[in-house]
């Protein structure tokens, strides 16, 4: 595995996993907003998605045109196994780094 994931990249990957089969841009933005309490612009979300796709961590498929989007299609994302492995190793690293630290900093 090469390279580390940035924090925002991790958030996006988790958001895709949380959204399940309905993970498209607006939903991902909403997940990050509601769960992490961060406000992220859709522009930021999309540039990061593009980067993750280039890294081969996520895949996408294109849906049908929808009237509520002005006849535009949705692009749905899902996390590839490589992306899951990246998240796992990031989390493991975090746990190791926090072991033995005073309560608020130690990860569960």
Residue 47 or 89: the one with the smaller Cβ distance to other proteins is 47
Residue 46 or 87: the one with the smaller Cβ distance to other proteins is 46
- CA distance readout (Å), 6 to 10, 13, 28, 70, 79: 6, 11, 16, 34, 16
Residue 3 or 102: the one with the smaller Cβ distance to other proteins is 3
Shortest Cβ 28–other proteins spacing (Å): 9
Shortest Cβ 43–other proteins spacing (Å): 4
3-class DSSP state of 43? helix
Shortest Cβ 10–other proteins spacing (Å): 20
Binding stretches for other proteins (CB under 8 A): 24-26, 29, 41-44, 46-47, 50-51, 54, 62, 66, 68-70, 72-75
Q: What is the DSSP string of 49-93?
A: HHHHHHHTSEEEEEEEEEGGGTTEEEEEEEE-HHHHHHHHHHHHH
């Amino acid at each position: 595995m090469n390279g580390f994931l940035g924090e925002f990249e991790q958030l996006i990957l988790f958001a895709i996993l949380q959204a399940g089969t309905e993970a498209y841009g607006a939903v991902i933005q909403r997940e990050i907003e509601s769960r992490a309490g961060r406000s992220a612009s859709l522009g930021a979300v999309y540039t990061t998605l593009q980067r993750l796709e280039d890294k081969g961590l996520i895949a996408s498929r294109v849906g049908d045109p929808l009237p509520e989007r002005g006849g535009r299609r949705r692009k749905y994302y899902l996390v590839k196994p490589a992306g899951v492995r990246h998240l796992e190793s990031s989390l493991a690293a975090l746990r190791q780094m926090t072991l033995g630290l005073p309560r608020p900093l130690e990860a569960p």
